[in-house]
Amino acid sequence: MSQLGKIVVGILATWTLLLLSVPVQAGDTITRIKARNNLRCGVSDGILGLSMQDQNGRWSGIDVDFCRALGAAVLGDSENVSFVPLAASARFSALKGGSVDVLVRNTTWTMEREAVLGVLFTGILYYEGQGFLVSKSSGIQELSQLNRATICVVNGTNHAGQLSQIFGVKGWDFQPVLVESPAMAVETLREGSCKAYTSERPQLMAAMGGAAGGPDQYLILPVEVSTVPMGPVVLGGDHEWFTLVRWILFTLIRAEDGGYTKANVRARLDHSDDYRARSWKELDGLIAKSLNIEAGWGIRAVESAGNYGEIFERNLGEHSVLKLERGLNKLWKDGGLMYAPPFR
């Protein structure tokens, strides 16, 4: 069987297992969350900048902050959120089985996932690119040197499928080595069973930073083979929940665009008479009534985590350990792709 054939068989087997799992009824997710007074948010099992626990068990990351903003909007308290760490291979079955209310786990938005799995992506929380981590001792410095190489891929991701398309266009081939976590990928890379590990930049940097022997032994190649749009995912069939999750994301982006911050959002919206503030306040009550949540949901979301720019810079950007450039994650007016549709 060809390499592409093996990958297709593996993907189909994964989809079959997911489709055979009995999904929870989507129903009124907001009502269930309010009844238990807790939002269950599926996150990664430990990726710096995205979702990770510290030594005291406190979660942090851009995915985590979005969950807290969502919890504040629905429940009035950003601390009433349970974070459920999930391996990539288990994330969709957890969502379909009802173990989590929303999946905010560096998950790539694809047509196949929505059409086949019955899930819906609510928007794009973070744009990244798929790259490669290699051992410096391998001498690999450019993409062409990975032709016919063994490449570590985390099980349950779409990275192998992306590489099959990209390498296929070039007439190249590769041998995927499936692993269950970024940590296992780096260990396999260190042992020499694969020549590279492919994933998004934060995962590569986090894996390199936690590698045995230190990060100086590794190199991230200066190339990205695809743009990866990642965002929150909900189970299909609950329009109100889908709408709320989507528009909390847009609220955080809109807040940055309008200069509303974690520190000033309440004062500006409560006391300001400018047009944008009046429009936001007028719409707030109508949306709250329609979605069965308390008024002030937008203020609570921004007040709990900050606007989109604050969240990015704290977890991934200049105020973080990673210090990543925002790139496509800048606001539209700054040359990026982040913008919110009109609120009315």
Same domain, yes or no: 73 and 222:
no
Domain boundary, last residue among 170, 202, 228 = 228
Same domain, yes or no: 68 and 139:
no
Same domain, yes or no: 178 and 206:
yes
**Residue range 252-283, pLDDT digits in tens:** 999 999 999 999 999 888 776 777 777 777 78
Eight-class DSSP state of 339: -
Domain boundary, last residue among 201, 228, 255 = 228
C-alpha distance from residue 227 to each of 127, 129, 175, 236, 333 (Å): 7, 4, 22, 25, 20
**Residue range 18-28, pLDDT digits in tens:** 443 444 454 59
Q: How many Å from the N-terminal Cα to the C-terminal Cα in the chain? A: 54
Q: Which amino acid is at 74?
A: V
Same domain, yes or no: 3 and 66:
yes
**Global pTM?**
0.87
pLDDT tens, residue order, the chain (344 aa): 444 444 443 444 444 444 434 444 545 999 999 999 999 999 998 888 999 999 999 999 999 999 999 999 999 999 999 999 999 889 999 999 999 999 999 999 999 999 999 999 999 999 998 999 999 999 999 999 999 999 999 988 888 888 899 999 999 999 999 998 888 898 999 899 999 999 998 888 888 877 777 888 899 999 888 888 999 999 999 999 999 999 999 999 999 999 999 999 998 887 767 777 777 777 888 889 888 899 999 999 999 999 999 999 999 999 998 899 999 999 999 999 999 998 88
Same domain, yes or no: 6 and 119:
yes
3-state secondary structure of 140: coil
**pLDDT at position 27, please?**
58
Enumerate the H helices of 76-158 as residue ranges.
Answer: 91-97, 111-117
Same domain, yes or no: 152 and 212:
yes
Element (H, E) at 8: helix 3-20
Strands (E), the chain: 39-44, 52-53, 59-60, 81-86, 102-103, 119-121, 126-135, 149-154, 174-179, 196-200, 218-220, 227-230, 233-235
Same domain, yes or no: 107 and 136:
no
Same domain, yes or no: 210 and 75:
no
Whole-angstrom distance, CA of residue 290 vs CA of residue 331 = 29
Mind giving me the DSSP string for 283-326? HHHHHHHHHT--TTHHHHHHHHH--HHHHHHHHTSTTSSS----
Same domain, yes or no: 108 and 222:
no
C-alpha distance from residue 308 to each of 34, 165, 175, 256, 271 (Å): 25, 33, 39, 6, 23
**Considering its fold, how many domains does the chain have in total?**
2
- Note whether 206 and 199 are within 8 A (CB): no
Enumerate the H helices of 222-307 as residue ranges.
Answer: 239-258, 265-271, 275-291, 297-305
Q: Which amino acid is at 219?
A: L
Q: Which amino acid is at 71?
A: G
Same domain, yes or no: 108 and 166:
no
Same domain, yes or no: 100 and 224:
no
Q: Residue 223 sits in which domain range?
A: 128-228
CATH number, domain with residue 113: 3.40.190.10
Same domain, yes or no: 342 and 279:
yes
**pLDDT at position 343, please?**
86
Tokens for 143, please give them. Answer: 């993409």
Domain boundary, last residue among 228, 253, 285 = 228
**Residue range 62-119, pLDDT digits in tens:** 999 999 999 999 999 999 999 999 998 899 999 999 999 999 999 999 999 999 999 9
- Note whether 245 and 102 are within 8 A (CB): yes
- Note whether 150 and 160 are within 8 A (CB): no
**pLDDT at position 79, please?**
96
